[in-house]
Chains A and B, each alone.
Chain A
């Protein structure tokens, strides 16, 4: 009897809390759809909910990483020759990613399939996570995307120094000068190339972060207006105005993940000397 009434009252309370946190997000600078951690934080005021709220992006991203790892671990455990079910699905994904890497990097791409595939799946899942009710895209936080971009940056610089040698890389950064005019231009070319190298991770991080955050804000604002529409008649629910934007998120989330992976692949490609030569000659 008591349990029933509790469930009944919670059915009424939940939308109210939802609406409350949506209203609260009006006052904060970023209107996002409340996730379950925000709900816990507004509902229960204690140090550990504050802690969860403070680290919510990290918690979500770690959770997603663990989820993907477990999915692939258990999905790949069964090694049937003729795959079916989950194994079939995972093999399809892996094969598509492998083709993607081969298409850009050629036969050397085999080494980078794990990195590029993980990047793609991880970012895609993070981008789409906002579509699940009470969840949030952790890639709408700059620190998460910056971490990914820094990983790519470090790998690319390592490959640069490995493939060109340190002095060779410096020579390459100086624009591979030949003749007197070439060496005269070195003081100009070197800073330009260094700026280009430094810009790449920043561009990667900012673009992913900006697009996902914008999408989240769009969904949040639409949800907020849905609630505001019915606020005058005192109904603690909202018109689901955010549904069309969720379809947009499906598209942009996929595209952002694809672009991040594509650009990482191209930065890796540019570290390989023969490809770079081809590009330089075709440019002149």
Chain B
């Protein structure tokens, strides 16, 4: 691999890794919002909220896994 490509890859990797905090933090918060909204609608306070927060954490972890899978070993 020529050094120019290598540098491009590094910059891309660094850029994508900057997203990781957001990828991990946003889904649980979104799950919390959607869950509490659904709870208001259905009247199942507070179980859906808890469930969706947990699912949000799982979704964030999955997305993190995908990002690292795609960009981590891009040699």
By the criterion CB–CB under 8 Å, are B59 and A195 in contact?
Answer: yes
State whether A203 touches B23 (Cβ < 8 A).
yes
User: Roughly how many angstroms separate A255 CA and B63 CA in the complex, as a whole number?
Assistant: 21
CB of A125 to closest CB in B, whole Å? 18
Digit string of A250-284 for contact with B (CB within 8 Å is 1, else 0)?
00000110110011001000000000000100110
A191 within 8 A of B: yes
Does A46 reach chain B (CB closer than 8 Å)?
no
Q: Roughly how many angstroms separate A193 CA and B30 CA in the complex, as a whole number?
A: 13
Total count of chain B residues near the partner, CB < 8 A? 26
- Across the interface, do B22 and A195 meet the contact criterion of CB distance under 8 Å? no
A203 touching B18 in the complex, CB below 8 Å, given contacts A195-B55, A196-B62, A262-B12: no
In this complex, the interface size class of chain A, counting residues with CB under 8 Å from chain B, is 20 to 34
CB pair B22 A259 closer than 8 Å: no
A259 lies within 8 A of B18 (CB): yes
**A199: B residues at CB distance < 8 A:** 23, 26-27, 30, 59-60, 63
Give the complex CA separation of A154 and B32 in angstroms.
Answer: 23
Contacts of A192 in B (CB 8 A): 55, 58-59, 62
**Do A259 and B31 have beta carbons less than 8 Å apart?**
no
Q: Which residues of A contact B22 (CB under 8 A)?
A: 203, 206-207, 210
Given A195-B31, A195-B55, A259-B18, answer yes or no on A203-B26 (Cβ-Cβ < 8 Å).
Answer: yes
B26 touches A191 (CB 8 A): no
* Distance between Cα atoms of A196 and B14 in the complex (Å): 22
Partner of B18, one of A188, A191, A202, A207: A207
Cα-based distance from A263 to B23 in the complex (angstroms): 12
Question: Across the interface, which residues of B come within 8 angstroms of A203, CB to CB?
Answer: 19, 22-23, 26
Choose from B16, B59, B62, B69 the contact partner of A259 (Cβ within 8 Å): B16
- Expressed in whole angstroms, the Cα–Cα distance for A191 and B60 within the complex equals 12
Residues of B contacting A255 with CB < 8 Å? 11, 14-15, 18
Q: Which residues of A contact B30 (CB under 8 A)?
A: 195, 198-199, 202
- C-alpha spacing A91/B34, complex, angstroms: 46
Q: List residues of chain A with CB within 8 A of the CB of B41.
A: none
Q: Given that A191-B52, A206-B26 are contacting pairs, would A263 and B59 also be in contact in the complex, using a CB cutoff of 8 Å? A: no
Candidate in A195, A196, A206, A263 with the most chain B CB atoms within 10 angstroms: A195
Chain A interface residues toward B at CB < 8 A: 188, 191-193, 195-196, 198-199, 202-203, 206-207, 210-211, 255-256, 258-259, 262-263, 266, 279, 282-283
A255-B11, A262-B15 are known contacts; what are 4 more A-B pairs with Cβ within 8 Å?
A: A207-B22, A255-B15, A256-B15, A263-B19
